[in-house]
């Protein structure tokens, strides 16, 4: 009897194993959709209440949601490195963010998903934002992709004059070929590339989501009878936001329109898979590179740039009909570094010979009973760093600090009684509000040890990036209009038209701010000074006979105070933001005051500009043209204002 039972159990086990292997016997096509700056709370399947995402919601119903999926960096280039190589970006010495004047990029000796799948017999293409090196030998065509179509870096950047121009390049916005060849550079004006050449400059950003989608659909139809890999890293919803005419002004918010267009794109791709009869042969993975910049990361804490969950835990769904169980939610810790080793298993690819950090998560994707996260600890060394282990999230630094501050910046004001580290139960406390470090010293000690071991191993086993190849007579690829490179501003020399990097301004987080200036002119109109953009910042401008001071704490909260300019033509102005109060004083008149919601919560990422808001507008009610008066003097002071 016992022998019969054992034999029956063995047969059942062998049969189940055979079925599992059979389920993955035919390598799938792979479409990897990677959104830029889309937050956890920007999709319906995670509870979004603003934008509507019916296609993503249906994809989640037909596939599996990954509730605890982490990316490898809280900003662009580091995150893309981790996704495509399965290795932490620090292991590969990559920058967290690359720029058009960067000197390095992802080394072509590193094995990407595309390299692996190309060797396994797949057709490969990259459509969208690359951002891992925009010149040889770091372009997609050097990294396993047979073709490339897209913008080589973030859409708020500028043209590198060393990018090769195609003979049939389309030049837009009234520019001439001669101007482009003569080192034309302008913020938010970026090139469209095909393979290794610029085919259009500057691209109309309102068309990019639609055009990427059309190129992807064309590729699917052309390759439907052979295995293929599409890497579709969308440019949206990164600032500056733009939407095609067909989806514009649907929601009342540009960010929601942009999210809905990304959702439309997903729907078009899924429909094409069904139309071509390859739906059940295709694995589609949807996720984002980091937390929301403008949208929502709720209910998670913080946003893009932070290692709190709102910066690195992403809306993620994977769909493969009949292979990935429909309508399920995986709550185990998974990460973007796991995609490469998982695809190696599913697609018959070979793992890189050099060390990577990801693990095969097919047991979780396929819904195997009792499957667990392959990460006993998931360590992320971006910024001040963090460790996720099961339900626990650990930060080896005190709350209210980041472990870093700008040069000459005073130490932040921190509660001296606060624990030196942070520990949160992410299941019971998804918003990471209740620090449990004091009550769980054993867990703190264990995760601190894991953190230290991880950093020591990374430091001992780093690999090089590749140097971008530039001509010996290369033109400057530096920022087109920034006045300084992080040095403090000399306000005695500041004048209309100057633009300064944001770090040139003393840290404004939680600090009072005073703008002092002397201006002349009749019927004044235009921005006198602006620092920041849609996310946070402040702006002083004249409009309709009034002087207006706008103060934006968050993308949702903006306070304004205004006063009449009067009939004089010379104005000495002081605009201040103190705790819960804004004020404006003109000449010797009585100051006008108004309540506000408080001081800035983060330092503006965008530059400070004089005489015009040169980037994303702090206040969409402000004039867009250059200030029509004369600025005699101007200065921004940060800190206590009693004697200023």
Catalytic residue among 67, 88, 107, 131: 131
Instruction: Report the distance separating Cα 293 and Cα 604, nearest Å.
Output: 12
Active site residue 382: no
CB 386 within 8 A of CB 302: no
Instruction: Report the distance separating Cα 522 and Cα 542, nearest Å.
Output: 11
User: Which helix (H) or strand (E) covers residue 222, if one does?
Assistant: helix 208-223
Instruction: Report the distance separating Cα 170 and Cα 181, nearest Å.
Output: 13
List, in sequence order, every residue forming a beta bridge with 200; answer none if it has no partner: 170, 192
Instruction: Report the distance separating Cα 477 and Cα 471, nearest Å.
Output: 12
Encoding tokens for residue 319? Answer: 């769909």
Instruction: Report the distance separating Cα 626 and Cα 528, nearest Å.
Output: 8
Catalytic residue among 76, 126, 138, 379: 76
How many whole angstroms from its chain centre is CA 75? 5
* DSSP letter for each residue of 561-575: EEEE--S-SEEEEEE
Instruction: Report the distance separating Cα 12 and Cα 68, nearest Å.
Output: 33
CB 258 within 8 A of CB 237: yes
C-alpha count within 13 angstroms, C-beta hemisphere, residue 13: 6
Instruction: Report the distance separating Cα 243 and Cα 616, nearest Å.
Output: 15
Instruction: Report the distance separating Cα 246 and Cα 261, nearest Å.
Output: 9
Active site residue 76: yes
Instruction: Report the distance separating Cα 211 and Cα 225, nearest Å.
Output: 23
CB 519 within 8 A of CB 571: yes
Encoding tokens for residue 432? Answer: 């990471």
Nearest of 485, 477, 512 to residue 607 by alpha carbon: 485
Active-site residues, by number, are 76, 131
């Amino acid at each position: 009897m016992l022998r019969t039972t054992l034999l029956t159990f063995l047969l059942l086990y062998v049969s189940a194993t055979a079925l599992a292997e059979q389920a993955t016997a035919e390598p799938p096509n792979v479409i990897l959709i990677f959104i830029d700056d889309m937050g956890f709370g920007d999709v319906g399947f995670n509870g979004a209440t603003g934008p509507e995402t019916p296609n993503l919601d249906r994809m989640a119903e037909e596939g599996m949601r990954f509730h605890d999926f982490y990316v490898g960096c809280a900003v662009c280039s580091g995150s893309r490195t981790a996704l495509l190589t399965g290795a932490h970006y620090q292991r590969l010495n990559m920058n967290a963010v690359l720029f058009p004047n960067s000197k390095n990029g992802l080394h072509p000796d590193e094995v990407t998903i595309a390299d692996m799948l190309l060797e396994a017999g797949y057709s490969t293409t990259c459509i969208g934002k690359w951002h891992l090196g925009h010149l040889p030998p770091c372009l997609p065509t050097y990294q396993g992709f047979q073709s490339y179509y897209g913008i080589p870096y973030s859409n708020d950047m500028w043209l590198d004059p060393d990018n090769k121009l195609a003979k049939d390049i389309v030049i837009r916005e009234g520019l001439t070929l001669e101007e482009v060849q003569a080192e034309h550079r302008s913020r938010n004006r970026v090139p469209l590339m095909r393979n290794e050449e610029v085919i259009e400059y500057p691209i109309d950003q309102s068309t990019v989501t639609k055009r990427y989608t059309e190129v992807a659909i064309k590729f699917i139809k052309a390759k439907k009878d052979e295995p293929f890999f599409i890497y579709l890293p969308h440019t949206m919803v990164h600032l500056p936001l733009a939407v095609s005419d067909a989806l514009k002004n649907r929601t009342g918010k540009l960010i929601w329109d942009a999210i809905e267009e990304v959702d439309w794109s997903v729907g078009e791709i899924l429909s094409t898979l069904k139309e071509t009869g390859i739906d059940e042969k295709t694995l589609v993975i949807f996720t984002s590179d980091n937390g929301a910049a403008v949208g929502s990361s709720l209910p998670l804490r913080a946003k893009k740039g932070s290692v709190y969950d709102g910066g690195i835990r992403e809306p993620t769904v994977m769909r493969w009909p009949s292979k990935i169980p429909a309508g399920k939610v995986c709550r185990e810790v998974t990460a973007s570094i796991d995609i490469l080793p998982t695809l190696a298993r599913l697609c018959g690819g070979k793992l890189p010979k050099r060390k990577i950090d990801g693990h095969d998560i097919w047991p979780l994707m396929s819904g195997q009973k009792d499957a667990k996260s392959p990460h006993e600890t998931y360590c992320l060394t971006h910024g001040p760093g963090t460790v996720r282990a099961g339900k626990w999230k650990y930060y080896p630094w005190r709350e209210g600090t980041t472990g870093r501050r700008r040069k000459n910046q005073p130490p932040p004001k921190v509660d001296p009684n606060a624990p030196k580290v942070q520990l949160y139960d992410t299941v019971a406390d998804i918003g990471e509000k209740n620090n449990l470090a004091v009550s769980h010293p054993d867990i703190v000690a264990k995760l601190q040890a894991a953190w230290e071991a991880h950093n020591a191993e990374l430091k001992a086993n780093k690999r090089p990036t590749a140097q971008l190849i530039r001509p010996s007579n290369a033109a400057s690829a530096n920022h087109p209009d920034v006045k300084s490179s992080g040095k403090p501003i000399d306000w005695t020399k500041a004048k209309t038209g100057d633009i300064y990097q944001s770090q040139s301004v003393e840290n404004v987080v939680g600090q009072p701010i005073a703008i002092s200036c002397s201006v002349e002119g009749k019927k004044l109109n235009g921005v006198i000074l602006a620092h920041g953009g849609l996310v946070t910042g402040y702006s002083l401008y004249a409009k309709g006979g009034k002087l207006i001071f706008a103060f934006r704490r968050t993308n949702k909260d903006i306070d304004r105070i205004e006063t009449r300019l009067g009939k004089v033509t010379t104005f000495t102005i002081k605009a201040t933001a103190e705790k819960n109060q804004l004020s404006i004083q003109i000449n010797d008149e009585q100051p006008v005051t108004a309540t506000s919601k408080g001081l800035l919560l983060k330092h503006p990422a965008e530059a400070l500009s004089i005489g015009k808001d040169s980037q994303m507008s702090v206040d969409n009610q402000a004039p867009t043209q250059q200030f029509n008066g004369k600025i005699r003097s101007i200065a921004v002071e940060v800190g206590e204002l009693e004697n200023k």
